[in-house]
Amino acid sequence: MHGSRFQQLNEEKGLVPGYPVTMRNILGDNSVVAVHGISHKRIRGSLLAVSGPAATRDHHLQKIDKFTRSFLDNWAGKIIDIQLKTKKMIFLVSMNLIIENESTAFHEAFKATFDNLVLGIISLPIKIPGTSYFRALQSRKNVIAILGEVLAKRRASSTAYDDILDQLLRNEVKFSDEEIIDQIITILYSGYETVSTTSMMAVKYLRDHPKALQAMRDEHFAIQQSKKPEEQLNWDDYKNMIFTRAVILETLRLATIVHGLMRKTTTDVQLNGFTVPKDWRVLVYIREINYDPFLYEEPFNFNPWRWTEKDLESHNHNMLFGRGSRMCAGKELGIVKVSLFLHHFVTRYRLIFFFTDCMWEEVEGNKLLKFPRVEAPNGLKLRVAEY
Ligand code: HEM
C-alpha cells in the first residue's frame, strides 16, 4: 500500500499494528507496539516524555556526546569493524541513558543476553530448543530477571538519578514493574539496529562519495572551530548539523533500514475502491516509496543534497520514521546519536581503505545484505588514521 493513502488510515479507521507474534511475545504484551487505544496513548505519552526531542535536548545529548567521544578513542591505525563498533556503541549509550548507575561490565554482559532476544524478533515462531525464537524467549526471561533486580534496587533506594528508568518510575500514572520492563525492552530494541545500522551505512556511503564526505567535514570542522577544545556539543551545535541530517535521511532512504510498516484490520477497511476484510494484514512497503523515481530523482544515487534543496523531510511520502499516531517516539534521539558519532568520527579520523571492498548492490557477493535486515555478514572493516 502506498504511504500517502496509508497515513489517513489510523486506528479509528480500523488499522492497528500487525507485527508478527514473535515480536509481540518477545517485546511483551505491555509494549507500546502491542497496545491500542487509551493504553497506547498513555504509554506513548510517557515514552515521548523520556525519549522525545525535549528529553533529548535537556538530558540525553550531553551524555551521548561524552560517551561517543571516549568510545572513539584509540581507533587510529587499527582495523575497525564498523558494524561491531557501532552496535556496541549504540547499545551501551542507550544503557547509559536508561540505567546510568550500573557499570560498563554490567551493560556489556546485558548486551550479550539482549542480542539473543533481538535475533528472535524476526524469526519463525517455532518454540523448540535450538531455534532463534526459543533462544529469544529464554533470553526474555533472563532480561526480565536482570531488569527486575535493577528495579527492586531502585525502588529501595532514595537516590535520585537522571536517567530514563528514574523517569519511568516517577511517571504520573504509575506503571507496574512489568510495564516498565516491557517499555525498557521496547526502547532498547527500537533504537538499537535502526541507529547502529544507520551509523554504519552512513560511514560506508560517505566513504564511497568523497564530495559528500568533504561537505560533512566542512560542516563539522566549522562547528569544532567555534568551540573550545574539549567543550561539549550542545543542542545548537546539533541543529547546525544540517548537511549531516541530510546524510542520515539519505542513508535511511537508500539503505531502507526499515523495510515496511505492518498493520492489521480491526474492521472492513475501504482502500482505493477495494474492501480489505477484517483481520487481514496490511504491509506498507517503505522500500517502494523510498525508490519511487517520481518522489526521488535518480533514486538509486546517494544524493544527500536532495534533502537540503527541497523540504522532503516533512513531505507526506516520507515514511522513514513512520507517520501519524505511531510515528517513531525516538526520531530526534536516534538522529542525535548518529550525528554525534559522525561528528567525532569525521573530525578525528581519515579513512584509509576498506578491507572488504563492498559495493552496496553486490548482494550476491554476500558483502552487504538488505533482507531481512541490512547487515554485513562478515563485518565492515576499515582502517582509520588520526588527522
Ligand atoms: C534511525 C533510527 C530510527 C528509525 C529509522 C526508526 C523508525 C521507526 C519507525 C518507521 C516507526 C514506526 C513503526 C510503525 O508505524 O509501526 C518507529 C516507531 C517507534 N520507534 Fe523508532 N526509529 C529509530 C530510532 C528510535 C529510537 C532511538 C527509539 C528510542 C526511544 C525509537 C523508539 C520507537 C518507538 C517506541 C516506536 C513505537 C511508537 C508507537 O507505536 O507509538 N526509535 N520507529
C-alpha 242/C-alpha 339 separation (Å) is 10
Distance 330 CA to ligand 1 centre (A): 6
What are the cell numbers at 315? 513531505
**Backbone Cα Rg of the chain:** 21
Are the C-beta atoms of 304 and 243 separated by less than 8 Å? yes
Distance 191 CA to ligand 1 centre (A): 7
Distance 189 CA to ligand 1 centre (A): 9
- Overall fold of domain 3-386: Cytochrome p450 (1.10.630)
137 φ/ψ angles, rounded to the nearest 5 degrees: -65, -40
Q: Calculate mean pLDDT across residues 375-387.
A: 84
Q: What are the helix (H) ranges across the chain?
A: 3-6, 21-27, 37-51, 53-55, 61-71, 82-98, 104-119, 132-156, 164-169, 177-190, 193-208, 210-225, 235-239, 242-255, 286-290, 305-309, 331-348
State the number of CA atoms in the 13 A half-sphere of 29 facing the CB.
3
Please provide the average confidence, as pLDDT, over all residues in the chain.
90
pLDDT tens-digit map of 7-49:
556 787 888 888 889 999 999 999 999 998 999 999 999 999 9
C-alpha 373/C-alpha 101 separation (Å) is 32
Distance 365 CA to ligand 1 centre (A): 31
Instruction: Give residue 379's pLDDT.
Output: 86
Instruction: Give residue 11's pLDDT.
Output: 81
Ligand 1 atom nearest residue 337's Cα: 27
Q: Pocket of ligand 1, candidates 10, 245, 325, 328: which has the most ligand atoms within 8 Å of its Cβ, to mutate?
A: 328
Q: Which of 309, 386, 292 is nearest to 348 (CA)?
A: 386
C-alpha 30/C-alpha 177 separation (Å) is 11
357 pLDDT tier (thresholds 50, 70, 90): very low
Q: Say what the pTM is.
A: 0.94
Are the C-beta atoms of 263 and 324 separated by less than 8 Å? no
pLDDT at 360 over 50: no
Nearest CA to ligand 1 atom 39: 326
pLDDT tens-digit map of 191-221:
999 999 999 999 999 988 999 999 999 999 9
Nearest CA to ligand 1 atom 35: 329
pLDDT tens-digit map of 248-291:
999 999 999 998 899 999 999 887 788 999 999 988 899 999 99
Nearest CA to ligand 1 atom 36: 328
Are the C-beta atoms of 172 and 17 separated by less than 8 Å? no
Are the C-beta atoms of 375 and 83 separated by less than 8 Å? yes
Largest CA distance in the chain: 62
Pocket, ligand 1, Cβ cutoff 6 A: 17, 32-33, 44, 47, 51, 186-187, 190-191, 194-195, 198, 252, 257-258, 261, 320-322, 326, 328-330, 333-334
